[in-house]
Structure 1
């Protein structure tokens, strides 16, 4: 009986490994490598349910996965070459192209995982041996797999693992690995997330009350609401790993509750064909298409996310899934650098908060083909209760071509230059604020909550290459045409699609940069669909006196 640190050997007898990371779509062309702790531990539980439940008790399995969740493994990985096949899957009316992405791995060369410092008790080791021997595949069923526990190899040298454990080497790539929180961190996470869910549920109830004319400040959560929140949050690593994917997606989780991402360094996956160098954005191309909106009952600005979603659907359809509208290239890989389309709305008639314009901003540039095949063809969007939207393409150009504060002349303030900007639509954070065990928020040296909305906004704008933010201040409502709109009145949840999202419904900010910035400026969850949009508040900063 082995009593040393845990090592597991993994071989692929078929020479192929098919699997898609948690946060990626199957047609993106991504393959999870190395196998994540999340996948391995879920597979252990699945094998136990299917084959070994009579031989291994549930209590032992729960203890085993809790021990394996204590730390992420290091790996020695063999060379992996990425390839794919393409299939056309029939549907009712047409066929859909499907990419089957996989890694080609030498069937005689194992991948070896090591959990440093983890020595399992005899009972747990015996249970693990039974479960590993029962494996037929890992990932998709085509990924035949043999797994077994082994003695520590004398020549073991990890070439992949958590960044704090692996020395950087030339050519290594950064990858993310999903795994459950260990038991202690799960307790802290559960308490903090419980408070966040209570806040989010209460905000939704208050927003509903506000729309029906009731006082939102009198709304309280019921006992059953609180009980449902308690039941939705896993209490042990086993509970985390046994959540059903369909239930998670239906509940709106962007990742399994009680999990976290671990940053790994790993050898690069070899491409079957050498990748082409990414093209630089063509700054000589137009980047903005501006539409006027006409309707018997124009939609309110608070419904922006729904109007931009409909516009996005039309553009994707007419452009035949062009990468500048989908955000994915021809091989299904996610584009980097946010060069694809941002869609946003304006309410410029000066009397109401009804939408008057829709804009398409494509930092990567608008080619003649995109204009001819997509932008010129979008003339109609379906509307609520039969009040469809008619779109008139006013022009295609650069932000400078449309910039200005004379909205009666059709100019767009959102494309002006300014140092100080103010939220027009709510900024929805992409991260969850960090909390201590006593419920207090953790703060940085500036007094800002770590991963709170202010800090997240500053991070995202910095990643866009914008100048330093010298002042930031939150405020609780927007003012449009003399009407005050609370952020709760805005719909901020996409009906389809993903994107990282924090617990807040949305917040407004006034930000001041160290120097002037040209709009549009948008950041946060659903920024490509009109959320997190800013408007300048110093309209005369760039004008001379007539």
Structure 2
């Protein structure tokens, strides 16, 4: 009568890293190797059933040392990622180490069946039944399982088999893949079975003594379900919330948005492939886009008007691709900020909270209004000439910018004022080697002859948050 060991995983997850593989490779040992199962039974005997006779357990383990066959339910390979503080966290930096927790998600009855073609005497079968009942997990400790010994595989189970094969790929069944499984050499060397991994590493061995790799034909994992991508909607707005105890000052808008755009470009570059990117504002050959300002604007949003940035809103009139939205989502798993020695925020965390159309923009940025006032300083793109009247210069610069954005400046009146909040406002990118042509930032109030819709962003560094206006009606 064959021996059937039924391993049910009530949580539907089986965690186990194959011997000789690094945990962050994300590989899962499917099926559980005979070496793993024998070590689990030996450990259970020592820790939970020491009253069992030694000669019975030894003979039982020797009988089960032959490679079994397995019945494996449909499964998928998945993983979660965990970021733990490393040795640098005591210095105040947000430095972490990544750990990958890979596992097999089991469907069906969430049970893996191991079948040995051996006969056990009543004493051995009774010992195996007791050890199976007392086994708390198979694999890592989070693989909680319920193990029992059966006389046969239940008739309703129609799972494909995983079993040893020869060296010819033709021996593999349909939908199967070759997998090397760690098995003991015969006869079983119990001293080798109970060696600690640290001792095996100290002996500079890749695998434990008295073991061999046996090729199994194993059912391939199911393909993961992909989320449905809706291509009929254009993403023009992405909102990134800044998390933390204290938000950065509005005066540090340009350093923050410059660092954010730089992080986006770095991720796009690593992903490879040359294409015109609205997010980066560059063409496939690395040149700035000439798209009438339809590429990304990184705009600060001070929701409670306390002088600090609550969100960065990425507004892209030309629309973002799914890849570019994914890049902004990736930023939520990284810290963003300026480097050491540069004035501005650092080590910030941003979370993508919404993406969609222009309806996601703040109402005070878009609703039609006659009067609009500065949220951030307006910095002219051109240099003021000494022979030119300054008020006329500012009016001409605003009119020229409105024309670039397809807005009519006819009938526009402009009033300039002093805004104490704009004192100390950084008006240049830290990546620039030379200062801007105009170091003056203006607080303006624009009045149009007819209601005008937003958003309105004008002037130098308007794609980095300067020259932003809100309604004043």
Name the TM tier (shorter chain). Answer: 0.3 to 0.5
Q: Which has the larger radius of gyration?
A: 2
TM-score, normalised relative to structure 2: 0.44
Under a length normalisation based on structure 1, what TM-score does the superposition of the two structures give?
Answer: 0.38
